[in-house]
């Protein structure tokens, strides 16, 4: 497995930070990694299919999808397959070149999905992997679906819809955490009095990054500690970048403060000497006490660095080719 050009070109440029005081989180990641490696191979059936453009158009017509961009890019996505395993179905529409690479990773991806889905809910997943890039559009000074989002979960209809190829596996882990109610969304957040910042998104993406590093460590055989360090540098870089945009009056339509800034503070805390077994158990096993954590870190200062601007709003630097 090779890293993407994006990863290779940028990871050396991003300023290095050193914030890991406590390795408990890393031990937990290694433990989950071992559990996943010990899972039996998953039996799946793959077939070619047709995904109706009307269905894509329907599922795209919500606030969290840049629907014009998606519909315009569909003509470039010539491969359409469906994958069935257990009681789950996943549709993938992408370009032919990408399909081969995704299929190489599929056995590991399915193990990751089953591991996160430990209560065996039925999953319906749509991966419409357009080439739309995550970056800032200087003309309209806003941070909305087009610039920030890549997918959503419909909790009532019970499906996941992802509409970008870029970092789609990280996004899939993020949406699984929503769909499987591990996302802390029903907690009451003391600081979120106007209910605009969606703090549960910071907790959700923290978990998505956690699983994405495990996934990539399995595929590349790079160790978790190394990958986490690279990812932390990037998370802090992006937090500083987004903080500057918000200070410069970019309009926060998507919950950017949560996705980038609060998440960076959460990671710093989970890797500090204040981390402990109980906190991990509450967050990752019971999926509760998110509000307590947010209350603890909310007023922490952002870890200031001279960030570099790479014209991308990605949330992970780690991506395979």
Q: Which stretch, 69-77, 143-151, 197-205, 269-277, contacts Zn ion (CB under 5 A)?
A: 197-205
Site for Zn ion in 285-304 (CB under 5 A): none
Find the DSSP H helices in the chain. Answer: 5-10, 24-37, 53-60, 67-73, 96-116, 145-148, 168-179, 200-220, 224-247, 256, 263-270, 277-280, 290-297
Torsion angle of C-alpha atoms 243, 247, 252, 254, degrees rounded to 10: 0
Cβ-based burial of 68 (10 A; exposed 0-12, middle 13-18, buried ≥19): exposed
Nearer to Zn ion by C-beta: 124 or 272? 124
Site string for Zn ion, 204-243 (x = CB under 5 A): x---------------------------------------
Q: Report d(CA 33, CA 35) in Å as an integer.
A: 5
Site for Zn ion in 62-121 (CB under 5 A): none
Q: Which stretch, 53-61, 127-135, 195-203, 281-289, contacts Zn ion (CB under 5 A)?
A: 195-203
Site string for Zn ion, 144-183 (x = CB under 5 A): ----------------------------------------
Q: Which stretch, 86-94, 130-138, 203-211, 306-314, contacts Zn ion (CB under 5 A)?
A: 203-211
Nearer to Zn ion by C-beta: 204 or 206? 204
Helical pair 263-270 and 200-220, crossing angle rounded to 10 deg: 60
- For residue 17, the SS3 value is coil
Nearer to Zn ion by C-beta: 254 or 291? 254
Least spacing, CB of residue 254 vs Zn ion, in Å: 9
Least spacing, CB of residue 314 vs Zn ion, in Å: 15
Q: Which stretch, 33-41, 135-143, 198-206, 243-251, contacts Zn ion (CB under 5 A)?
A: 198-206
Nearer to Zn ion by C-beta: 7 or 204? 204
Cα dihedral sign, 82-83-86-88: negative
Strand partners, 143: 252
- For residue 142, the SS3 value is strand
In the complex, the residues that contact Zn ion under the rule CB under 5 A are 201, 204
């Amino acid at each position: 497995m090779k890293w993407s050009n994006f990863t290779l070109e940028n990871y050396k440029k991003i300023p290095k930070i050193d914030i890991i005081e406590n390795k408990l989180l890393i031990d937990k990641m290694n433990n989950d990694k071992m559990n996943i490696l010990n899972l039996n191979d998953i039996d799946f059936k793959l077939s070619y299919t047709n995904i109706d453009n009307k269905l894509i158009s329907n599922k795209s017509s919500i606030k969290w999808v840049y629907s014009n961009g998606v519909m315009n890019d569909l003509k470039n996505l010539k491969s359409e397959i469906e994958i069935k395993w257990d009681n789950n179905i996943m549709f993938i529409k992408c370009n032919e070149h990408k399909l081969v690479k995704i299929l190489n990773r599929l056995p590991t991806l399915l193990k990751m999905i089953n591991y996160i889905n430990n209560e065996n809910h039925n999953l319906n997943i749509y991966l419409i992997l357009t080439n739309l890039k995550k970056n800032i559009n200087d003309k309209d000074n806003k941070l909305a679906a087009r610039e920030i989002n890549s997918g959503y979960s419909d909790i009532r209809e019970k499906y996941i819809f992802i509409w970008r190829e870029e970092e789609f596996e990280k996004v899939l882990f993020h949406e699984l955490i929503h769909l499987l109610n591990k996302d802390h969304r029903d907690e009451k957040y003391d600081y979120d009095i106007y209910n605009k910042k969606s703090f549960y998104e910071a907790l959700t993406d923290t978990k998505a990054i956690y699983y994405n590093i495990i996934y990539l460590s399995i595929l590349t055989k790079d160790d978790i500690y190394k990958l986490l360090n690279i990812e932390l540098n990037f998370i802090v870089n992006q937090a500083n970048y987004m903080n500057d945009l918000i200070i410069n009056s970019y309009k926060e339509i998507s919950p950017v403060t949560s996705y980038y800034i609060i998440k960076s503070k959460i990671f710093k805390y989970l890797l500090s000497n204040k981390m402990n077994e109980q906190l991990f158990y509450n967050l990752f096993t019971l999926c509760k006490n998110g509000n307590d954590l947010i209350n603890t870190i909310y007023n922490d200062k952002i870890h200031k660095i001279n960030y570099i601007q790479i014209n991308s709003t990605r949330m992970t630097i780690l991506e395979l080719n």
